[in-house]
Structure 1
Amino acid sequence: MACRVSELVLSCREPETLARFWCEVLDFVVLDREDDGSLEIGPRDGFGGPQPTIILSRRDEPEPGKSRLHIDVNATDRDQDAELERLLKLGARRADIGQTGDEGWHVLADPEGNEFCLLKRRLGPL
């Protein structure tokens, strides 16, 4: 028996802002709202499916320093260039972590500066 990733937790100042961004990026919906402003977003079929949910945990001051974990995403219905354009329009911005420009992925940051990568390979939708 093995474990499975069920949730990712991201500390942030503006859960609603990040929820809008990540719901658009991943075609997720808000599944739950907590009294402290934290949110859980995930696939329309909810918690426990093939994809983990994301908890956007409200913190006035998220953990200092660079996160040691980042999210990689793949386009499902368009090529990488078209998906990059879509993500930038949603509020992502390019992030420079010392790439050479020859990589097969793009390093981006969400509206709060959390880095994530857009990979080249296209995946089929779930």
Structure 2
Amino acid sequence: MSCHLDALAVGAHDPAALARFWAGLLGRDTVEGPGGVDVPPGEDPGLRLRFLPTARPRAGRNRMHLDLTSATPGDQRATVERALALGGRHLDVGQLPEEEHVVLADPEGNEFCVIEAGNRFLEGCGPVGAVACDGTRAVGLFWAAALAWPLVWDEGEETAVQSPRGGPKVTWGGSPPAPGTGRGRLHLDLVPDGGDREAEADRLVGLGAARAGTTAGGAVELVDPDGTGFRLL
């Protein structure tokens, strides 16, 4: 059995409005998705964004965020200006003055970064360079096995995986996630390749995940070895 990454899902108080923000920022369209609004990938391979309704109040910083790439310094400035015009805002998360990336928040307060031009780590990844996550090295190894994606970075506690076809990376900074377990406002949605969801859930449990229930729509809820929730659709 195997599975693939179907989307980065985002819980939103107004999924349609938040989807419009991200579609406008990335130059994509919006489409009605399963239970919410999707922003399909603008390139292949790319990353689908899925906006789902939630009544859960925001509590602290998200465990994951998007890193957007820039081809030139002017491209970085244009992305920041477009985000602000669409309803985003600057955000202080303790970044240093000498750091060249720009930290922003979308209209519902979800953090994201616009990375400076010339960043070698995200070179060739596309406009969405990475899903950057809190997490230990162990969880990076788990996701490499879960997705059958190679480790493209493994130094100290920091890890990253990427599809063999390219596209965005998924990275873990080495620091454990904030206290608490389960799905946050941002989480990964997976789909089994063979169609047997229960068998794939069992495989993921064998790799170190744990079951956390079933959604009303029948998706299997799991948590990875760091306690971060995800869904198997």
The answer to whether the superposition gives a TM-score over 0.5 is: yes
Unaligned runs of 5+ in 1: none
Match of 1:75 among 51, 56, 70: 70
Does the CA-based 8 Å contact 1:40-1:56 persist in structure 2?
yes
Match of residue 41 from structure 1: 39
Q: CA deviation at 1:100?
A: 1.7
Match of 1:110 among 106, 130, 133: 106
Unaligned runs of 5+ in 2: 128-233
Q: CA deviation at 1:56?
A: 0.5
Distance across 1 between alignment mates of 2:102 and 2:13: 25
Does the CA-based 8 Å contact 1:18-1:56 persist in structure 2?
yes
Distance across 1 between alignment mates of 2:71 and 2:18: 21
Q: CA deviation at 1:114?
A: 0.1
Match of residue 66 from structure 1: 61
Distance across 2 between alignment mates of 1:76 and 1:67: 27
Aligned length: 120
Structure number with higher relative contact order (C-alpha < 8 Å, ≥ 6 residues apart): 1
Match of residue 80 from structure 2: 84
TM-score by length of 2: 0.45
Q: CA deviation at 1:83?
A: 2.2
- Per the alignment, in what secondary structure is the counterpart of residue 6 of structure 1? strand
TM-score by length of 1: 0.79
Deviations, residues 59-115 of structure 1 (Å, cap 9, x unaligned):
112563321100011235842223222221111100001112111100000000000
Q: CA deviation at 1:4?
A: 5.3
Question: Greater share of strand residues, 1 or 2?
Answer: 2
Distance across 2 between alignment mates of 1:57 and 1:10: 6
Residues 1:62 and 1:8: Cα distance change in structure 2 (over 3 Å): farther
Distance across 2 between alignment mates of 1:62 and 1:7: 22
Does the CA-based 8 Å contact 1:15-1:58 persist in structure 2?
yes
Deviations, residues 9-57 of structure 1 (Å, cap 9, x unaligned):
11110101101100011122113245x5x21111357xxx411111101
Give aligned-pair identity as a percent.
Answer: 34
Match of residue 18 from structure 2: 18
- Per the alignment, in what secondary structure is the counterpart of residue 70 of structure 1? strand
Residues 1:4 and 1:104: Cα distance change in structure 2 (over 3 Å): farther
Provide the aligned C-alpha RMSD in A: 2.6
Range with bigger deviation, 13-22 or 85-94? 85-94
Does the CA-based 8 Å contact 1:91-1:110 persist in structure 2?
yes
Match of residue 120 from structure 1: 116
Does the CA-based 8 Å contact 1:27-1:43 persist in structure 2?
no
Does the CA-based 8 Å contact 2:71-2:117 persist in structure 1?
no
